[in-house]
Structure 1
Amino acid sequence: MNHDDRSRLRTWMLLSVLLNAFLIGGVTGGAWWWWASVGHAEGAAHAAGTSAIQGPLPQRGLRFAADGLAPAQRQAFRAGLRDVRREAADLARSSREGRTEVARLLAAPQLDRGAVEAALARTRAADLALRERVEGYVVGYAATLSPADRLTLVQGLAAQQGSFHVPIPPARP
């Protein structure tokens, strides 16, 4: 075997090793991802849109509270909620920035308690103002519904997290 043949053979072997390493890494990474997100029972149930214990997972978020209403009512609720949130975008941004500022101040080498408390107060004020606007919209929208539709909305609100959430009382022995 001459020098050119050995050089060519080394090149092909190197390419083969690299390709095999890439394939093994891809298969291993894919298997890990599958196991982490779907492989175990709870992950598989979540991927199927169900809970391993309770059946179908509820949709989360205030916009899903109107799912039991007629399509036109559901669309109106979501559009109004979107408009309120769009109008209050400055409050949401201020709240986010306040939380970021609080985290930055808490992580500083020297804790400035006054600055942290002031940032928390600003964040709380923005959160409260945003919450007031959203809750005001929901109450105003509910006032436009019939009693039966209002009850459907209340049931949808109770299933959501947030200020309208009503916890399920614990079962008594």
Structure 2
Amino acid sequence: MSTGRKLLIASVALNVFLAGALAGGAVWLRSGKAGQGYSLEAAGGRLPDQERRIFRKALREVRRESRQVILDGQQARREAADLLRQPALDTAALTAALERARNADVTMRARLEQRIVEFAAASSAEDRGVLAEGLTRRAGLPPAAKKSP
């Protein structure tokens, strides 16, 4: 078999593999397997395009404004990991590091949720319904029955 023919076969095989990987990734993303969770933040993924952009922008602003809190939480987790690697465990220091990490997480969650509440307060009933459906769907709850006016 000539070198050119071997390269052609290898190229075709590689292209088939890449096409399969791309198709599989697209199906995985479309099926909602990425970003699983049941947060209000994740529920915003089904908003109409313009509202989704506004929603995500608002959440990015919270993260940007809270950069120091995020960094503090990351540092506390690194300290906890370092403490766990020590030959002798300092439980008081580990407890304190984990508490700092937890406090940073709670602070971030509260800030994000507050911004989502502000977004929802300024949104239409339809958009709030989309958020509600996304929240219950991601939590694995059955859809709520439609209320008649």
Normalising by the residue count of structure 2, what TM-score does the alignment of the two structures yield? 0.69
Structure 1 residues 100 and 38, CA gap change in structure 2 (3 angstroms):
farther
- 1:167 aligned onto 2:130: no
1:49 aligned counterpart, secondary structure = helix
Structure 1 residues 45 and 154, CA gap change in structure 2 (3 angstroms):
same
**Superposition pairs for residues 42-53 of structure 1, below 5 Å?**
46-50=24-28
What residue in structure 2 maps to residue 83 of structure 1? 61
5+ residue gaps, structure 1? 1-26, 161-165
**Cα deviations across residues 114-152 of structure 1 (Å, max 9, x unaligned)?**
000111111111111011000111111111112221011
Partner Cα separation in structure 2 for residue 64 and residue 138 of structure 1: 11
Aligned residue identity for 1:157: L
Q: In terms of mean alpha carbon deviation, does 74-83 or 60-69 score higher?
A: 60-69
1:50 aligned counterpart, secondary structure = helix
Structure 1 residues 68 and 44, CA gap change in structure 2 (3 angstroms):
closer
Partner Cα separation in structure 1 for residue 41 and residue 95 of structure 2: 33
2:140 aligned counterpart, secondary structure = coil
Structure 1 residues 146 and 63, CA gap change in structure 2 (3 angstroms):
same
Seq. identity, %: 35
Is the CA contact (8 Å cut-off) linking 1:38 and 1:47 kept in structure 2?
no
Deviation at 1:111, TM superposition (A): 0.4
2:46 aligned counterpart, secondary structure = coil
Partner Cα separation in structure 2 for residue 63 and residue 125 of structure 1: 19
Cα RMSD, aligned residues only? 3.0
Structure 1 residues 151 and 120, CA gap change in structure 2 (3 angstroms):
same
What residue in structure 2 maps to residue 124 of structure 1? 102
- 1:69 aligned onto 2:47: yes
Report which of the two structures shows the higher radius of gyration computed on alpha carbons.
Answer: 1
Larger RCO of the pair (alpha carbons < 8 Å, separation 6+): 2
Deviation at 1:85, TM superposition (A): 0.7
5+ residue gaps, structure 2? 1-9, 143-149
What residue in structure 1 maps to residue 74 of structure 2? 96
Which of 35, 38, 41 in structure 2 is aligned with 1:60?
35
